[in-house]
Amino acid sequence: MKLQKLAILAAAAAAISLPSASAQAIWTAGHGDLGIGYDAGELDPHVHIHAGATVDTVVLGADEEYAPGDALPQIAFAKSLGRPSGATWDFFGVASGQPVWVFPATEDPSLPFIGFGAEELAPGDWSTAFTITLTGLAGSGATAGGKFSVYQTDGFGTPTVSMQTTDGISGADFMSLAAGGHAHYNFAFTQPGIYEATFHITGTHALDGAKSADATYKFEVVPEPTSFALLALGGGAMLLRRWRKS
């Protein structure tokens, strides 16, 4: 009887503690970009992960491309930073010292190194730069009150914010990228969970005219391991109660 109960609890733990959907490519380290391509007369947003990055625990031997949302950059719960003091950091949306999780704009070999990239596009084919505007944020992290921001810092560590959700989402949440260009930003989050950030991308092709596309990219702050243990125990208790009744 005890063995049956333990088996039920173990099954519940295994079923509940998995943080991400297995169909997604889990990106845990190395360089990659939220890319802009052009195919059959239309913009082609995608995720371009470079050789040497770690995806699904394997180091890539060659570059790989994924549809938006099919590659999930992850940052571990233990990688949190304390929000710096000062009003210039209020865009994070949490008090000084509170945890923030950041995919950094400078390479850290233990984290995904994320940029925006339009390197595969010839500059002469485009008469304007691309505008990338944040239009939506969903997912379990956002539902739990998590805030999302995209920013760079200067040589003195002062932030310049391109996108942030602390004051809501508006047309002011955007950045520009030239065809053939590439730029790295800090991507910050204030709660564990999944974040689904939707961007509207626009640009003008020299021959084909104005072009636009929408793309939703996913990010994950992996929840604290103890939260999974509590979920597993709760799920196991429910299964155990049902088993007793049956």
Note the pLDDT tens digit of each residue in 52-104.
999 999 999 999 999 999 999 999 999 999 999 999 999 999 999 999 999 99
Does 119 reside within a domain? yes
Per DSSP, 84 falls in state P
Total domain count for the chain? 1
The boundaries of the domain holding residue 123 are 20-222
- The closest alpha carbon to 148, from 112, 68, 224, 94, belongs to 94
Does 1 reside within a domain? no
Q: Read off φ and ψ for residue 83, nearest 5 degrees.
A: -60, 130
Does 187 reside within a domain? yes
Does 5 reside within a domain? no
Residue 219, Cβ density class (10 Å: 0-12 exposed, 13-18 middle, ≥19 buried): buried
Integer CA distances (angstroms), 153 to 46, 75, 186, in order: 26, 20, 8
Does 137 reside within a domain? yes
Q: For the chain, 246 residues long, give each residue's pLDDT as a single digit of tens.
A: 444 443 433 444 443 334 444 479 999 999 999 999 999 999 999 999 999 999 999 999 999 999 999 999 999 999 999 999 999 999 999 999 999 999 999 999 999 999 999 999 999 999 999 999 999 999 999 999 999 999 999 999 999 999 999 999 999 999 999 999 999 999 999 999 999 999 999 999 999 999 999 999 999 999 988 644 444 444 444 433 444 444
Residue 145, Cβ density class (10 Å: 0-12 exposed, 13-18 middle, ≥19 buried): exposed
Does 3 reside within a domain? no
- Give the predicted TM-score (pTM) of the model: 0.84
